[in-house]
Amino acid sequence: MTSSKLVIALTKGRILKETLPLFKEAGIVPNEDISKSRKLLFDTNMENVNLMVIRGSDVPTYVEFGSADIGVTGKDLILEYGCDGFYEPLDLRIAKCRLMTAVSRDNKNFSERITVATKFPNIAKKYFAAQGKQIELIKLNGALELAPSLGLADIIVDIVDSGKTLQANGLEAKELIADISSRVIVNKASMKIKNTIISGILNKLKAAVRSS
């Protein structure tokens, strides 16, 4: 990325609501109310800094390829995408949850080759491969909790917050794969070319995280 502007890609939704106060404390504030706009790119009180608001699953791509210099997204999406294309210098300690396996309370006797439904196929492959287990993967983008009861899968791999949704659908969380929170990622070339401004922002965000 050759632009003199610094572009920060933020994740829309719940993470955005928790991210903006940290950025405000770090001295970066959008010039308009993001929640009331359909725009994706916003000017800020800093003339050389723009905020981009996109889906969390797209943040790693924008950062790796330099369309954004900095990004904020969940650790689950970073693990799924792969961590080699950018730096991950800071845990914002917001939007905390767990990535776990879950099974039906009524059926825990699986065949040698188990079926796993998830929206995180790369994470699931690595996790079960490390355990020496053969699995058949089914990619789902939603309604994962229905898969075991309808016979589609033996196990699901999903984000667990309170666990109430699992319980309501006859499931129970079993094995922890990773603790999840929102992280700051930085484009590798940007870290070299725009080191002064990026390091300054990271230091202010670290202070904001500590104070919160």
CB 205, CB 22: distance < 8 Å: yes
Could you tell me if 18 and 73 are in contact, meaning their C-beta atoms sit under 8 angstroms apart? no
* 66 shares a domain with 77: yes
Q: Are residues 194 and 142 in the same domain?
A: no
| pLDDT grade for 53, boundaries at 50, 70 and 90 | very high
108 with 72, same domain: the answer is no
pLDDT of the residue at 4 = 81
The model's pLDDT over 81-106, given as tens digits with 9 standing for 90+, comes to: 998 899 999 999 999 999 999 999 88
Three-state DSSP at 169 gives coil
Q: Record the pTM.
A: 0.91
On the question of pLDDT at 2 being above 70, the answer is no
Query: Is 90 inside any structural domain?
Result: yes
**Average pLDDT score, the chain:** 94
Asked whether residue 191 falls in the same domain as residue 129, the answer is no
**pLDDT above 90 for 1:** no
The closest alpha carbon to 103, from 172, 164, 53, 46, belongs to 172
Amino acid at 141: N
Where helices occur in 26-120 by DSSP H, the ranges are 59-64, 75-81
Q: Does residue 66 sit within a domain? A: yes
Instruction: Name the residue range of residue 124's domain.
Output: 97-178
CATH of the domain at 120: 3.40.190.10
Q: Is residue 163 part of a domain?
A: yes
User: How many domains does the structure of the chain reveal?
Assistant: 2
